[in-house]
Amino acid sequence: MAIAYAQRQRKTNGNYTREEVDLWSFGCTLYFVATAVFPFPIDRTDNCVLAYAVAEENRPEGAICAERICGDSNRYMYRYGYTIDNPIVYPKWFSHSLSKIIAMLFSRDRSLETLDKLANVLRDSVENKFISIESTDIYNYCGLSGVPEFRAGYPTPKEELGLKAGVKYRLLHENRITEFSNSFEKPTHGSPPILFPLLDDIPWTPKKWGLSLDEGRQTNGEQSNNGHRMAAFAQAGEALKDCEKISEIVATSSTTIRTLLDMIKIELESARERTLIPVRFTTYAKMHSFALTPFVRDESQKVVIDRIFEVADEAAKTLEVCTEFFNKALADIVVHLKELNSIELDIDEEPGLEGKLII
């Protein structure tokens, strides 16, 4: 591709340097590694198909790939693309950043200095990790919208996580619950936070897979059987990755929830202990007001004593309700911790399965 690109340029008035051709070639390599296809069409019987596709006078600024939409001879019409879309393999933020780097490598202003700068930005970037309850999936996000070369069209956290419009979300950390913000937050150490919507019922949609082998055979005939078989193998490999994700989600979520339950338990026990002194004070007030009643002759003093007894009795009942609440909450936490500790995923491995999928 780089040779064809350089040959096409020789037909114009400009001349490319070796560095420019190397950078163009590197852009083609990056695109192929990311997508497993060539960025521009190749026709072994007509070299002009590629030459016209990569020519700068034909190729729009920022385009990183092209598809020929006219198969007639001597007619060269293309549909150009500007992004790498592979949500199964890459997060949106990475696909966007990689697309911008490839676009730079295909631009007129490409240079080693810019490539080195952008490569260092990606190398030094730190991802935020989120566990989504809605999709039972793990998401990664890196806030690089401040980089000028990446700024245009950079996905927001809500776009990366696929959050619903009009729904409020919360983040369950190891030691706190915070409101989810669409602004970038610096990564925190420890387990990734659990993202959940503030809904009475959290809907869960099973993952949609492609056609099975039997469905593909019935729909498209035996000729497409190999293609559907490869698609099924790819889906099986993806399912294995999903199993690994689920194992991580269960382990991380269990640790986070267990930590929070332990913290709540400590807080409840502390609050229950703080009610002991007020309970003793109300008991003391009731006993003394009752004991003083026979010795009080003045009616106004009797009213005061009766009022003290009444207030102390009301306070005692209120504190009793609080204590019952603390005891019930603590009992529920013990039950939840017991249930949480009983969660365990059984991992069954079938020898040779991964090897069969690779073949």
Digit-coded pLDDT (tens) for 338-349? 998 888 777 777
Mean pLDDT of 267-286: 85
Does residue 260 or residue 188 have the better pLDDT?
260
Does residue 300 or residue 233 have the better pLDDT?
300
Taking the C-alpha atoms of residue 197 and residue 266, their distance in angstroms, rounded to an integer, is 27
Task: For 30-59, write each residue's pLDDT tens digit.
Answer: 999 888 889 999 888 888 888 888 888 888
Taking the C-alpha atoms of residue 68 and residue 41, their distance in angstroms, rounded to an integer, is 7
Has residue 279 got a pLDDT over 70?
yes
- Do 50 and 56 form a contact (C-beta atoms < 8 A)? no
- Do 36 and 92 form a contact (C-beta atoms < 8 A)? no
Has residue 311 got a pLDDT over 70?
yes
Using a CB cutoff of 8 Å and minimum separation of 24, what contacts does 351-358 make? 354/240, 357/233, 357/236, 357/237, 357/240
Has residue 115 got a pLDDT over 70?
yes
Mean residue pLDDT of the chain comes to: 80
* Residues in Cβ contact with 112 at an 8 Å cutoff, skipping those fewer than 6 apart: 19, 23
Share of the chain above pLDDT 70, in %: 78
Distance of CA 341 to the CA centre of its chain: 26
* Amino acid letter for position 359: I
**Token pair belonging to 293:** 């009643």
Domain range 14-124, CATH architecture? Orthogonal Bundle (1.10)
- Do 66 and 39 form a contact (C-beta atoms < 8 A)? yes
Share of the chain above pLDDT 90, in %: 24
Does residue 177 or residue 5 have the better pLDDT?
177
* Residues in Cβ contact with 134 at an 8 Å cutoff, skipping those fewer than 6 apart: 195, 196, 197, 202, 203, 204
Does residue 353 or residue 321 have the better pLDDT?
321
Has residue 237 got a pLDDT over 80?
no
Backbone φ and ψ for 259, nearest 5 degrees, come out as: -60, -45
Q: What pLDDT shows up at residue 114?
A: 93
Q: What pLDDT shows up at residue 205?
A: 60
Task: For 180-235, write each residue's pLDDT tens digit.
Answer: 887 655 655 578 888 888 877 666 665 555 555 455 444 444 445 555 666 666 67
pTM: predicted TM-score of the whole model, two decimal places: 0.67
Has residue 122 got a pLDDT over 80?
yes
Q: What pLDDT shows up at residue 199?
A: 77
**CA distance to 27, 120, 127, per residue, from 124 (Å):** 21, 6, 10
* Amino acid letter for position 89: V
Domain residue spans of the chain: 14-124, 260-342
Taking the C-alpha atoms of residue 212 and residue 205, their distance in angstroms, rounded to an integer, is 19
Taking the C-alpha atoms of residue 266 and residue 254, their distance in angstroms, rounded to an integer, is 18
Measured at the alpha carbon of residue 193, what is the angle toward residues 191 and 199, in degrees to the nearest 5? 150
Q: What pLDDT shows up at residue 59?
A: 87
Report the relative pairing of strands 194-197 and 128-132 from DSSP bridges.
parallel
Task: For 72-81, write each residue's pLDDT tens digit.
Answer: 767 888 899 9
